[in-house]
Structure 1
Amino acid sequence: MTQLDSSTGQFANIGYWQAGNVWTAMAIQDELTTTQTNKADVVQNLNLVFGLFSNYDQFGGKFQFNDDALWWATAAMYASKAYNNTQLLDNAVSTWNSVSQFQITQAQAEAGSTPLKDFAIEGTCDGVTMAGGVFWRPTSDDTSVNSITTGLFLTLSAYLAEKTGDPKYTNASILSANWIRAHNLNTDDIVLDTVSASDCSRSPATWIFTYNTGKFIEGLSVLENVTGDSQWNALMLSIIAAAVENTSWQGANGIVTEGADNTQNNDDIGFKAVYIRGLREAFRRAPENSLLRTLIHSYVDVQYNALLDLAANGSFYSAAWAGPVPTSFTSWGQLAALDVLTAAVEVN
C-alpha cells in the first residue's frame, strides 16, 4: 500500500479506473477467503472517493466517462457484498441511477433521439434496435456506445438485481446483454468495441480487447443466476470457449500477452485483469458444470504459473506475464497480477 495516496484513494502511476480495480480485487480476496484483512482500507477509500467525487465522477458536475464511474461503482458493489456494507451499496445504487440516464431505451430508439444528446440517434443498426446500449461519454456531442460501458452497466445491474430483487435492474441488465449480443459480437464470438449511435459506424474489427469479453462473461454469469434463463448461460459458454482460444491476445502457450509494457503504464495492462476476473466469476457460479470449471481452472493456472515462473522478481510482478521478469517494482505490474492471484485462490 506504499503507492496509495491517502488523500485521494488512488495509487501512484496508474489511472483512476485502474485504481478502482485495485479495491475490487482486494474486496474479492476477502470475500473468497472469508476474512476482513482488507476491509478497513477498502471501505475507507471507496467512501473517500465517493465523497470527493459525487457518484464517482472524478471530473465534477457530470460524468465525463461513464465507464470510469461504473468501475468504481462496481468496486463498491463487490465490497458491499464482501462486508455487508450498506453505505457502499448506496454508493453503487446512486451511481447506477446517474449512469442509467445514458442507457438507450426502447422508446428513445423508436423516437430517434435522447434528451441528453444533441444529435439524432439511429434507432436501429443492421436492422436491430439500439436499445440497451450505454453511451461511453455523457457529453452531449459524443456518439459512442461501447461494449465496456454497456458491459459494466449490465454487470452492475445484475448484481443489484441479485441483491435487491428490483426488476428495474433485471430489465436494464437484459436490455444491455441483448445489445452486446446483437451489435458487438463478431463471428468468432469475441466482443467488439464501439458503435456510433449517430450513424451506425463501427470501431475497427481489430479493436479486440480482453476486458470487453471478460466483463460480458461476468455479467452473463450473474444475469443467468438472477433470471434462471438458460440462454444467458449458453451465450456465456460460447464466449468463454472462443476467448480461451483467441490468438489475438495470447500466445500458443495460452499465456495472455495483452498489455505487456514494463516501461510505462497503459490501459491494456488493466484490461487482462478484468478478463481473468470475469472467468473467475463464471467459475464460481457454475458449481455443477465440471467441464467449464476444469477449463477455467486450467486456463487461470496457466496465467498463475506464468506469473510465478516467468514474471516474478520476488514479490514484484511484470506486466508481461510471459516475461521477462521486472527489474523494479511497478504499480501497473502489481495491478495486473492481483486478479490472477485472486482467481488462483478460487479455482484451486
Structure 2
Amino acid sequence: MRMQLMLSVCITSLGNYDWMKKQRFVSGGIALIHLAVPLAVSVSSSAVSANAQVNAQQDWHMRAGAAADYLDRQWGTDSGWSASENWQRFPIVDALIEYQRRTGDLRWEGKINAAVRNRSGLYLNDDDLWAVIANVHAWQIEHDPELLAWAATNYRRIVTEYWDELCGGGLWWDRKRTYKNAIVNELLIYASTQLYLATRQEPYREWALRSWSWFASSTMIGADGLVNDGLDARCGNNGAPRFTYNQGVLLGGLNDLSEITGDPQFRALAVKTALAATRTLVTTDGLLTEPFDGLGRDGPMFKGIFAFHVGHLIGVMPAGAERAELRDWTRRNGEAVWRLTGEGSRPIDGLWTGGSDQHGAAAQASGLEILLAAAS
C-alpha cells in the first residue's frame, strides 16, 4: 500500500506555528472628541471583562495545581499510579503535559519523562495508540527525537498489521482480530493528525482522512453525533453503550481535521458531538457520567479524556452561544470536582457526584483535566 510504504521513508520535521498576531488601531482628530466618554466606558468595560477572565483562569490553574500535587503524591503507591491500567499512564502523562503547557509549571517534567518511556504491558492496539499520542505530545515539549521516532515506528506497525478490508476497512482493536470498535479507530484518526501536525508528512494526513472516511460510514456515529462502542459480526452498529471517552477522542480528531484541511465542517461536527454529550451523558445536575457503573479500573480515566478534548475544542471556538454553553458546562463540572475534594485536601473521586471509592491516579488525572478545561 502506497501510504504504508511512504511512512517507512518519512523524515521528521518540525511544523511551523504562528502563535502571535498583532493588531493595531489608531484614531484621532477633533471630530472624535464627542465620542471620548462612550469610548472610555467601552474600553473600561472591556478591560474589566478581560481582567475577570484572566483572574478566573488563574483560579482554575491554582485548583489544577492542587490536583496535580495530589497526583504527584500518588507516584509509585499501590493505590496510585501503580494501581492504574497500563494504558492509563499515557492519558495521565497528557494531563500533566497539558497542565505544564497551560501554566508553565515544570515540576512534573521528571514524572512525564519516566512515565512516557515506560511502554511495558501494552497488549491491545488502542493501548499502543495511547502511547503513540503521548509520545508525540512529550516530544512537543522535550524535542527528544527518540520519542517521535518511537511513535512513528509503532504507528506504522499498527496500520500495516491491523488495518484490513473486513467491514470495508478499519483497525482491529485486539491482536487476535476479534473486534473492530470505535476507540481504536478514533485514536487512529487522532494519532494521524497529531503526527501530521508534528512532522507535516503527507502520509499521516492521508491516513487521517482515510480512517475518518471509513469511520464516518461505519454506522458507529448516531444521528445525534454520539458514538457507540463498536461493530457487530455483521459489521453493523452493535448498540453498545456510549462511553464518554469515545465522544472525547472523536472531538480531538475532528478538531484536528479542520486544522489540517481548513474545512470547518469537521469542527462543526465536533461541536455537535460535544453539545450532545454534555446534554445527554450527564446526571440531572449536568455532571458527566458513564452509562453505567462497574467499569472497573478503566472507567475513572474516561471522563478526563473527554474533558481534555472538550477543553481544546473550546479554545478554538469563536465567541457565541455554543462556546459559552460548553465553557459553562466545564465550570459546573469543575466546581463539583473541586468541592468534593474539600478544595484540594482530598483525592478526586472517580464519580464526580461523589460517594464512590474510585480513587487513584486515573481518577485524579481525570479531575485535573476538567479543572484545566474549566480555564478555557
TM-score w.r.t. the length of structure 2 is 0.73
Q: Distance in 2 between matches of 1:264 and 1:240?
A: 22
* Structure 2: distance between partners of 1:181 and 1:250: 25
Paired residues of 1:66 and 1:99 also in contact (CA < 8 A): yes
Matched, 1:266 2:302: no
Structure 2 residues without counterparts, runs of 5 or longer: 1-71
Does structure 1 residue 3 correspond to structure 2 residue 35?
no
1:237 aligned onto 2:308? no
Q: Give how far 1:311 is off.
A: 5.0
- Counterpart Cα distance in 2 of 1:157 and 1:166: 10
After superposition, residues 116-195 of structure 1 pair within 5 angstroms as 121-122=166-167, 130-131=168-169, 133-139=170-176, 142-183=177-218, 184-195=220-231
> Is 1:296 matched with 2:330?
no
Is the contact between residue 311 and residue 320 of structure 1 (CA under 8 Å) also seen in structure 2? no
Q: Match for 1:250 among 253, 272, 282?
A: 282
Q: How far apart in 2 are the matches of 1:334 and 1:45?
A: 16
Pick closer, same or farther for the CA change 1:321–1:188 going to 2, 3 Å.
same
SS of alignment partner, residue 324 of structure 1? coil
Aligned-partner SS, 2:180: strand
Q: Distance in 2 between matches of 1:40 and 1:239?
A: 36
Post-superposition offset of 1:333: 3.0
Q: Return the letter of the residue paired with 1:315.
A: R
Q: Structure 2: which amino acid aligns with 1:97?
A: R
Question: What is the aligned counterpart of 2:259 among 225, 241, 265?
Answer: 225
DSSP-derived class of the 2:217 partner: helix
Q: CA–CA distance in 2 between the matches of 1:260 and 1:31?
A: 33
Q: After superposition, where does 1:326-341 map in structure 2 within 5 Å? A: 330-341=360-371
Q: Cα distance, 1:100 vs. partner?
A: 1.4
Kindly state the Cα deviation for residue 295 of structure 1 after the two structures are TM-superposed: 2.3
Q: Match for 2:345 among 314, 325, 328? A: 314
Give the counterpart letter for 1:258 in structure 2.
E
Once the 2 structures are TM-superposed, how far is the Cα of residue 171 of structure 1 from its aligned partner? 1.1
* Deviation digits for residues 204-238 of structure 1 (CA, Å, limit 9, x no counterpart): x2411011111000111011101112221222122
Structure 2 partner of 1:100: 159
- The 3 A distance-change label for structure 1 pair 260 and 39 is farther
Contact 2:244 2:289 in 1 (8 A): no
Which residue number in structure 2 is paired with residue 113 of structure 1?
Answer: none
Q: Distance in 1 between matches of 2:292 and 2:241?
A: 17
Q: Is the 8 A contact 1:310 1:325 kept in 2?
A: no
- Aligned pairs for 1:51-66 (under 5 A) are 53=120, 58=121, 64-66=123-125
CA distance in 2, matches of 1:12, 1:210: 24
Residues 288-312 of structure 1: CA distance to partner in whole angstroms, max 9, x if unpaired?
Answer: 3444432221111111001012354
Looking at both structures, which has the greater relative contact order when contacts are Cα pairs under 8 Å and sequence separation is at least 6?
2
Is residue 39 of structure 1 aligned with residue 39 of structure 2?
A: no
**How much does 1:67 deviate?**
0.4
Q: Give the root-mean-square deviation of aligned CA atoms.
A: 2.6
- Separation in 2, partners of 1:83, 1:138: 31
CA contact 2:136–2:148 (8 Å) conserved in 1: yes
TM-score calculated relative to the size of structure 1? 0.78
Q: Report the number of matched residues.
A: 301
Between Structure 1 and Structure 2, the one with more helix by share is 2
Partner of 1:278: 309
Counterpart residue identity of residue 31, structure 1: R
Partners in 1 of 2:96 and 2:136 — Cα distance?
13
User: In 2, are the aligned partners of 1:260 and 1:319 still within 8 Å (CA)?
Assistant: no
Paired letter, 2:273: I
Match of 2:10 in 1: none
Distance (Å, rounded) in 1 between the aligned partners of 2:348 and 2:253 = 28
AA of the residue aligned to 1:220: L
> 311-320 vs 74-83, which deviates more?
311-320
Superposition deviation, residue 335 in structure 1: 3.1
Q: Partners of 1:260 and 1:273 in 2: how far apart?
A: 17
Distance in 2 between residues matched to 1:254 and 1:329, nearest whole Å:
22
